């Protein structure tokens, strides 16, 4: 064999050897995706099934986020607890992590390189790693929330006055999510073939009721290049025109609700718009549950499946009436880089197993608690039949509570992981005009 050929052969062997070592060790995968296989979170004096109220809340303060502790202490709500359960994600997503995560690189500008699919950083975060917060927010950003595709319909946003306990308004949406890249379940994988704009993920939202804002539509394109700002378009039905939103408008109130566009799903903007810090790991009571076992709402939903929303209760009916379970949570603090941003800090309690946001605390520019946002997560095997086996922690109920204004917007969902009705053409500016006619 000639010297050149021998050298080439050696390089090939080296490459093959490197690829064979690319997969993270089994213990890393197990710790990341199956933390409850041989371990159950605990806290002194805590037993699943206990009802936490004003009388006993102090003994559980360490396993409640700061806002929820205050709400229970003040008599706004009481919560029922249940045993910790496994919310295993799709095997496809786990295997994509095993196959591709070793090649992911965190660049100096805070963006990622060599991302294909799966969880970018499955390793346990290290409190001494200055990049730990950045890695965790990328796990969230490129997580499996909504899977490859999701439709939420019906989707009700209810405005509630906590002082009078009156409902002020209900907006009814149809909302869809589509991943263009990093797909693991629905073909084609890992990416759609026609994507010249290099979009990572799109959101499309359509307003069905009330009449005065019917046909209002929202379209968001998030790009693979995190240094490129999201494109956001709003179609206003009463004006019959598409308006492109400026970057600063994603921190305005959306359609008069307590929610900003940046708040969608807990954090809906570029990773690089914030500085992220890992604040440690703790066991926390969060709203993860089996939808079909909950006390469901009495109000009718015009739905062919007979689906019923999660019931609301507590002060102003601003809280989900679900069971809370003790889970492993990563504390993630985000600080806006823009000095004109209306927030000083965004605190995400990130579920370790699913990399989804369990609760969010928002602080105003003075550093005072402004809003609280729990997102109730339902197990996909105890929900609609179409969700069985999908391995997604489903968005099921959320409440955006403005603690300063004593007002909330509750979000009630019917989430379905489906590829039906997910033509990429729906996620286009042309469709906004067409659908709004």
- In the predicted model, what is the mean pLDDT of residues 194-200? 95
- Of 24, 425, 419, the residue nearest 189 (C-alpha): 419
Among the listed ranges 60-64, 249-253, 296-300, which one has the minimum average pLDDT value? 249-253
Query: What is the percent of the chain where pLDDT is above 90?
Result: 79
The pLDDT score that the predictor gives to residue 247 is 55
Q: In this predicted model, what pLDDT tens digit does every residue of 86-124 receive, in sequence order?
A: 999 999 999 999 999 999 999 999 999 999 999 999 999
Per-residue confidence at 22, pLDDT binned at 50, 70, 90? low
Averaged pLDDT of the chain: 90
Residue 408, judged by CB atoms within 10 A of its CB (0-12, 13-18, 19+), counts as buried
Among the listed ranges 66-70, 195-199, 301-305, 386-390, which one has the minimum average pLDDT value? 301-305
Tell me if 237 sits within 8 A of 227, measured CB to CB.
no
Q: In this predicted model, what pLDDT tens digit does every residue of 390-418 receive, in sequence order?
A: 999 999 999 999 999 999 999 999 999 99
Domain ranges of the chain: 1-177+248-421
pTM equals 0.91
The pLDDT score that the predictor gives to residue 6 is 39
Per-residue confidence at 42, pLDDT binned at 50, 70, 90? very high
């Amino acid at each position: 064999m000639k010297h050149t050929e021998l050298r080439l052969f050696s390089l090939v062997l080296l490459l093959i050897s490197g690829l064979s070592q690319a997969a993270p060790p089994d213990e890393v995968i197990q710790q990341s995706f199956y933390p409850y296989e041989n371990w159950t979170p605990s806290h002194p004096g805590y037993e699943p099934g206990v009802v936490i109220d004003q009388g006993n809340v102090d003994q559980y303060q360490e396993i409640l986020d700061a806002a929820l502790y205050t709400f229970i202490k003040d008599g706004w709500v009481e919560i029922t607890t249940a045993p910790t359960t496994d919310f295993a994600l799709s095997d496809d997503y786990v295997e994509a992590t095993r196959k591709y995560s070793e090649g992911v690189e965190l660049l100096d500008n805070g963006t990622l390189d060599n991302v294909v699919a799966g969880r970018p950083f499955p390793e346990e975060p290290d409190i001494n790693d200055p990049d730990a917060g950045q890695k965790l927010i990328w796990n969230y950003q490129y997580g499996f929330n909504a899977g490859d595709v999701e439709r939420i319909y019906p989707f009700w946003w209810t405005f509630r006055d906590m002082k009078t306990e009156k409902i002020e308004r209900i907006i009814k949406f149809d909302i869809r999510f589509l991943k263009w890249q990093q797909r693991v379940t629905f073909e084609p994988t890992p990416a759609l073939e026609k994507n010249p704009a290099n979009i990572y993920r799109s959101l499309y939202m359509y307003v069905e009721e009330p009449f005065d804002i019917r046909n209002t539509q929202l379209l968001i394109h998030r790009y693979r290049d995190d240094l490129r700002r999201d494109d956001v378009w709003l179609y206003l039905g009463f004006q019959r025109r598409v308006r492109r939103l400026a970057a600063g408008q994603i921190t305005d109130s959306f359609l008069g609700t307590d929610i900003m566009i940046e708040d969608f799903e807990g954090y809906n903007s570029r990773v690089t718009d914030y500085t992220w810090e890992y604040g440690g790991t703790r066991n926390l009571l969060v709203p993860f549950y089996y939808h079909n076992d909950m006390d469901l709402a009495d109000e009718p939903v015009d739905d062919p499946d007979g689906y019923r929303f999660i019931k609301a209760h507590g002060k102003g009916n601003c809280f989900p009436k679900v069971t809370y379970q003790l889970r492993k949570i990563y504390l993630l603090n985000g600080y806006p880089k823009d000095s004109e941003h209306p927030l000083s800090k965004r605190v995400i309690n990130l579920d370790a197993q699913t990399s989804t946001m369990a609760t969010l605390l928002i602080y105003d520019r003075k550093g005072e608690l402004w809003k609280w946002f729990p997102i109730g997560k339902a197990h996909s095997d105890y929900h609609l039949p179409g969700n069985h086996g999908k391995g997604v922690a489903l968005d099921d109920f959320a409440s955006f509570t403005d603690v300063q204004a004593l007002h909330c917007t509750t979000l009630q969902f019917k989430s379905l992981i489906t590829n039906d009705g997910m033509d990429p053409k729906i996620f286009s500016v042309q469709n906004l005009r067409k659908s709004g006619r």
